[in-house]
Amino acid sequence: MTSLPNSIRLAMAAEGTSATDEFLWLEELQGKAAQAWVKQENQRTTASFAQGEGFQQLEKQVLDILNKDSQIPWVAKRGDYYYNFWQDQTNPRGLWRRTTLQEYRKAKPAWETVLDIDALGKAEGKDWVFHGSEPLPPEYRYCLVELSPDGGDATEIREFDLVSKAFVNNGFALPVAKSQASWIDKDTLFVATDFGAGSMTQSGYARIAKRWRRGTPLSAAQTLYEAQPQDMAVFAYHDHTPGFERNYVGRSLDFYRRETFVLTAEDRQIKIDIPADAEFSTHREWLLIKPSSDWVVGGARYPSGSLLAAHFDDYLAGKRELTVLFTPTAQAALSGYSGTRDHLILSIMDNVVNRLEVLTPQGKSWQRRPLGKPGAISTISAGGIDDETNDYFLTIGGFLQPTSLYLGDLDGGEAELLKQGPQDFDAGGYQVSQHFAASRDGTRVPYFQILAKGTKLDGSNPTLLYGYGGFEVSLLPGYMGSKAPAWLERGGVYVVANIRGGGEYGPAWHQAALKQNRHRAYEDFAAVAQDLIARKVTSSQHLGARGGSNGGLLVGNMLTLYPQLFGCIVCEVPLLDMQRYTQLSAGASWIAEYGDPAKAEEWAYIKTFSPYHNIKADVPYPPVLFYTATSDDRVNPSHARKMAARMQQMGYQQAYFYENTEGGHSAAADKKQAAFHSALVSEFMWATLSGKSPG
């Protein structure tokens, strides 16, 4: 057990503790006792896994990959320019820069710096983290820039002039908060922010949407719509598509349900009458609807996960003429779609390997054709570049295949290869395969496996099993990149599990593991672990589980429910205390996923997957590393703090903890911090799974 110094004990006594939860003091993020404990644990963890020559070499190797000049500089078109945000060793916080398409085609484009985030931070005495921008079309001169003081979700918003490349004097500005701001026109914004007492929801997001006119104080902004305190958030935005401009306001009732209204010129609200759990968007004159539950309307039944199109104005007028653009099957699900001026691009997953289709409206029907040529186990994606053309960007990549970026025109011609990502490791010695495990209830659960060719399946291979399993998030094949030196090149096997709770087979795959059925996600992950052991890819002492955020809750449950299956656990920015999660940071916004612990009947099942409450003394738990960030204002770092402290109090000396200060929910504000994170996790897992000491 790690003992607490007297200074921490005295600070705890001064701050007070709770009889029901003796580690509540760790929820005081900047509390003297909590910070002393974090410092102590960081020192212990770095002394154990981040001191040797091997760690330093690996950290440098990962950082060199992350800082490569040959990485694809991803761009977004704004008017005549293509904008990119770039971080490297010289510019750790990054350069926001731009170029022309003609220059971008070159191997080494000439870039024009728009905003130097490192220089800005130095001038203002703050370590700003760039969180993006929203430009105002069609001129694309003015934009709203978001800057986080620590990498968390709360940002400061300032108006920026892309011609003078400077912040606008007396322009629109909002102080640090979890805000939404978007353009209506040059002199008007939609704004939802912390307006003072009662203006935020229980989830910590803005509750009131207002119209703010240039030259007036924020206090004079006109209220347009108010969500309820128990709702997740309010929203308001303007569709700038020429000829189809519309204003919208509404509320997110929870993570999956929302109500949306069209706002007329007289500020009258017209509700878009679709199921609350249906996703919707617009494409010029079309209303696009993706129901998350089976939907009966107009005498027809549309299955969960379909994509439907209706004429927007006709639908608002009461007509219910819907055209089916996509129908899911047992194996195929729609993972997303994007529009160009005249077309839609659908991304369809078939057993977690995707393909693309182009849909074009022709009167009341839609023509369809394939787009691109995906590989066997790869990810192909495409999206429209702007609303004014039919140009699109297309990317293709896989676990062993660096991403390729193409530029194409849906009106004809072959797509042009613009950029090729660097080959960060020699992929010729590895192979990728897809397998299926049978979960406890018989469900087939897919997973991807990456290992060196010729690997002996004798149960001795250190294996990293990664998963997420929540919020309808799909884990698709993506280039290993810096993960290769951190794992594959050390001799490890890398596995990605596509468990229920994700979106790999559409909404039903997600909904199968909600609330009282959460255990299915954990049974799926355990089934993959058992299959890897049965196939002799690895054995329990050589198998490690890694996950972050909701995936941190997943591996936290592997620790408490299936400790016999794993040799170690890496639990990052996790949820773990499921009794108090709704009271911490943005936790209340996830009640639709997990349930409400304030309701006795729901706490009855939630407590079965609350690792903080299920850890027990005298159980042979595997070594565990908890990794979080002080600035994470989405998943509160106290989850990881309290879990590590409770385990240590029970005598588990192999419960390690590390807390980065910056980075928010990503736990890294720049690439140097990301490289440290990667190397620390690798050293911990390799030391515990291979039996070899770190360094």
Helix (H, G, I), strand (E, B) or coil at 216: coil
Give dist(CA 149, CA 131) in Å, integer: 10
278 bridge partner residues: none
Pairing relation of β-strands 493-497 and 444-452? antiparallel
Distance CA 425, CA 270 (A): 55
Phi/psi for 193 (5° steps) reads: -155, -170
Please tell me the distance from the alpha carbon of residue 345 to that of residue 679, in angstroms, as a whole number: 38
Which residues make beta-bridge pairs with 437?
445
Q: Please, what's the largest Cα pairwise distance for the chain?
A: 77
Report the length, in residues, of the chain: 695
What's the token pair of residue 603? 């706490």
Residues 673 and 651: their CA atoms lie apart, in Å, by 30
Bridge partners (DSSP) listed for residue 288: 281, 309
Closest CA to 360 of 311, 411, 415: 411
Rounded Cα distance, 549 and 544, in Å = 17
Q: For residues 254 and 591, is the Cβ–Cβ distance under 8 A?
A: yes
How many angstroms separate the CA atoms of 615 and 617, rounded? 7
What's the CA gap between 562 and 214, in Å, rounded?
58
Alpha helices, H only, 535-610: 550-561, 591-594, 600-606
- 165-to-100, 116, 143, 437 alpha-carbon distances in Å: 16, 10, 11, 54
Question: What tokens were used for 314?
Answer: 């006709």
The Cα 434–Cα 66 span in angstroms is 28
Nearest to residue 286, comparing CAs of 246, 333, 237, 336? 246
Torsion over CA of 628, 633, 635 and 637, rounded to 10 degrees? 40
Quickly tell me which residue has 């620790």 as its tokens: 559
| CA separation for the pair 480, 494 (Å, rounded) | 9
Q: What percentage of the chain's residues is helix, strand, coil (to nearest 5)?
A: 25, 35, 40
**Cβ(309)–Cβ(285) under 8 Å?**
no
Per-residue tokens: 98: 């731009």
Rounded CA-CA distance 383/150 in Å is 31
Instruction: Choose among 605, 594, 556: nearest CA to 576.
Output: 556
For residue 454, what are its two tokens?
């010729």
Closest listed residue to residue 457, CA positions, set 388, 513, 353, 534:
534
3-state secondary structure of 672: helix
Kindly list the catalytic residues. Answer: 549, 665
Which distant-in-sequence residues (6+ apart) come within 8 Å of 431 by Cβ?
A: 400, 450, 451, 452, 453
Does the N-terminal peptide bond of residue 92 adopt cis geometry, omega within 30 degrees of 0?
no
Identify the bridge partners of residue 82 per DSSP, sorted by sequence position: 77, 99
d(CA 280, CA 291): 8
Q: End-to-end CA distance of the chain, in Å? A: 24
How far is the C-alpha of 131 from the C-alpha of 627, rounded, in Å? 22
- Residues 509 and 560: beta-carbon distance below 8 Å: no
